[in-house]
Chains A and B, each alone.
Chain A
């Protein structure tokens, strides 16, 4: 559920521009998990995802007082993370989600039992193409709008929406089969 809006982000950026590091901590609280999960999809190892995550947030500090000109922190961090991950693996062949060493789903701390089992969701996400999986993650777990997703991934809103629709259909088939429906 969205409880804070861009107004709070503006205040945090102003504080960060004045050198208040607690603002960086607050931004990390808000967006650290989102960026990390997005990076798991775009890097090969857990260490790479952690390194790029730190670099993405450090890029806010490197901007100095110019950090207040950022209009949408979420989109900015995602784009920076995506660019840095792309540079990191520019020459490497793409790796499927199942071959990466970091699980996207937290199997160590699955939380209370829900409609789906964590391991089933993990397996279902691994079967999705990367383009659909990232849209599903951004939309379902982090409630980004299609406009925000399109801006981050540099695609049209319709493309983002259709990737989401097809991804959900596949998940429905896979998870429906896993639950015996």
Chain B
């Protein structure tokens, strides 16, 4: 073991080759470039995320405004926009037909075709 440590000490007295000076300067230059490009990429990513979030918020606000300010259903008063599926009589249908006809063509010929 004594021989081994003497040998190790003797070996350590010999210098091994070190990298040339230009390697360090080139490395630092490349490292600065890489770091700059990473920062740029991070900024772009955050900008995209912010834009997407803003778009989502704008869409939600627009949808809300549209749904709360939409007017009454087309067709005049009495039209609720609901569909009534209850079976009705022939007379009731005729009555509704005449009412709609008067609304569309006042004082016109309302006789049903074929009668």
Contact = CB atoms under 8 A, between A and B. Distances in A.
B28 interface: yes
Given A32-B24, A121-B11, A175-B7, A58 B17 contact: no
A33 B20 CA distance: 10
B19 A116 contact: no
A58 B23 contact: no
Interface stretch (B31-39, B82-90, B103-111): B31-39
Given A106-B18, A111-B15, 19 more contacts: A19-B35, A19-B39, A32-B19, A37-B16, A40-B17, A54-B30, A64-B38, A110-B14, A112-B13, A114-B10, A115-B6, A121-B14, A140-B8, A140-B11, A140-B12, A141-B16, A168-B4, A168-B7, A172-B3
Contact of A37 (B17, B30, B32, B38): B17
A61 B32 CA distance: 9
A171 B9 CA distance: 13
B26 interface: yes
B28 A53 contact: no
A76 B88 CA distance: 86
A118 interface: yes
A54 B25 CA distance: 10
B14 A114 contact: yes
19 contacts: A24-B28, A24-B31, A28-B24, A32-B18, A33-B16, A40-B17, A50-B19, A50-B23, A54-B30, A61-B31, A61-B34, A64-B38, A105-B15, A105-B17, A110-B14, A110-B15, A116-B13, A168-B7, A175-B10
Contacts of B12: 140-141
Nearest to A172: B7
B70 interface: no
A103 interface: yes
B19 A53 contact: yes
Contacts of A57: 27, 31
Interface in A40-59: 40, 49-50, 53-54, 57-58
Nearest to B27: A54
Nearest to A141: B16
A36 B18 contact: yes
A58 B19 contact: no
Contacts of B4: 168
A115 B5 CA distance: 13
A64 B28 CA distance: 15
A114 B7 CA distance: 11
Interface string A111-129: 1101110100100000000
B7 A118 contact: no
A67 B4 CA distance: 38
B13, B27, B39 — which one has the most chain A CB atoms within 10 A of its CB? B27
